[in-house]
Amino acid sequence: MRILVIDNGLSVEMSGGDFHIIKVAQYWAKTNMIFFLLSKQAYYLASKLLVGKSLVYNTPFKWEYYTKAHGTLGNIILLTLRILKTVLFDPKERFDVIVASSHYPHDVIPAISLKLRYPCSKFVVYFHSLDIPHRAVSLLRIISIMGNYLGALLVKMSADLVFTSNSYTQNFLLFLGIEKRRVFLTNQGVDTRHFALQPKKIFDGCFIGRCVKHKGIYDLLRICDIVRKSKSDFKLAICGYGKESPRISELVRKKKLESNVILLGLVQEDKKYNVLHCSRVFIFPSYLEGWGIAVAEAMACGLPVVTYHLPVYREVFDDKLITVPVGDIDAMAKEVIYLLENPEVAKKIGEANREFVKRYDWKTVAEKELSAIINLINKR
């Protein structure tokens, strides 16, 4: 098969959805021809992970021109330009399958455009969750709601197959009126190659994720501030980058946390797993998750995981996580302190986590999704 993947949202930070499509495509490429349609900046970010042929386009100015200088409005302008670029894109190849890496308009509209031009192609879309910023107000929240629901309606009208990674989103799609036969419940995955490493512990805690508000990045600093009162030499590694990164750096200096917080920024895959293996506890105060790839990666490395209580975690990870009420930073800090003071308990929890998460190997996830696509093709 010839499979085209459209990933228009990827810029300078990789979401779980971006990572998912790249990982499964690595397995699909063993038996199929894979093409990625994405921006020049996204290509620079993900080139080491991409497989197949990349169809790269460019937009005027740099990403920072839109997002830093013009904020939310600038981001809308950038994504609109990306839609126009990809809608007007005319590849020489013809594709059996067109994949939108998310349900957002910037991925779905170009996919529909290509589908209209080549009606024999099948349209597949990933709908991981309704990603509406937690506690956001005014323009940002309104735009997010509009984008989510516009994308959902476009998916309902045009998608041949919809992949979703949790039953809450699956039920929303069914409520929306999408036939059950078009909705396929899948999972996120984890790279099981990294299970066996056992290096020396350097960090007491670590966090891996985008530096954005709904990931709880500001809560993380407050938790660190509480924990260091009991453990003055507490070391927290933060891996990730996002629009809040400059502000986080400023707060670390302002709160005099330089000796406690190590900001590693974006890290390569191997280094990410090294950081996890060198840590004692994974701290993840995210307010919104469609599944939890970072959580699974931490479990794969044998770490106990402390999170807020989100319903999706119960579905995906059973009772393996240590959860506290959403927003309760004191309770989260207390759990972190307990695990650090009781290393044998932490070790036992981590070993159970490593065994549990083996069921979510990327190879298994990719094979299930490819099988669903093949069945769709065979129904022509």
> Which residue has tokens 């490493």?
197
Opening angle at CA 289, ends 255 and 22, nearest 5: 105
* pLDDT in the model for residue 133: 56
Sheet holding 33-39, edge to edge: 53-57, 33-39, 2-6, 97-100, 122-126, 161-164, 183-185
Q: What is the pLDDT of residues 118-157, one digit of tens each?
A: 999 999 999 988 766 555 556 667 777 888 889 999 999 9
Q: What is the pTM of this model?
A: 0.81
Paired strand residues for 163: 126, 184
CA distances from 151 to 73, 78, 110, 292, 379 (A): 19, 17, 12, 22, 26
Q: Are 65 and 93 in contact (CB under 8 A)?
A: no
Of the candidate ranges 102-111, 133-142, 186-195, 268-277, the one whose mean pLDDT is the lowest: 133-142
Length of the chain: 380
Q: What is the pLDDT of residues 162-176, one digit of tens each?
A: 999 888 899 999 999
Structural domains of the chain ordered from first start: 2-189+361-378 (3.40.50.2000), 192-359 (3.40.50.2000)
Question: The tokens of 104 are what?
Answer: 């957002």
Q: Which one has a higher pLDDT value, 129 or 245?
A: 245
d(C-alpha 161, C-alpha 99), whole Å = 10
d(C-alpha 321, C-alpha 307), whole Å = 7
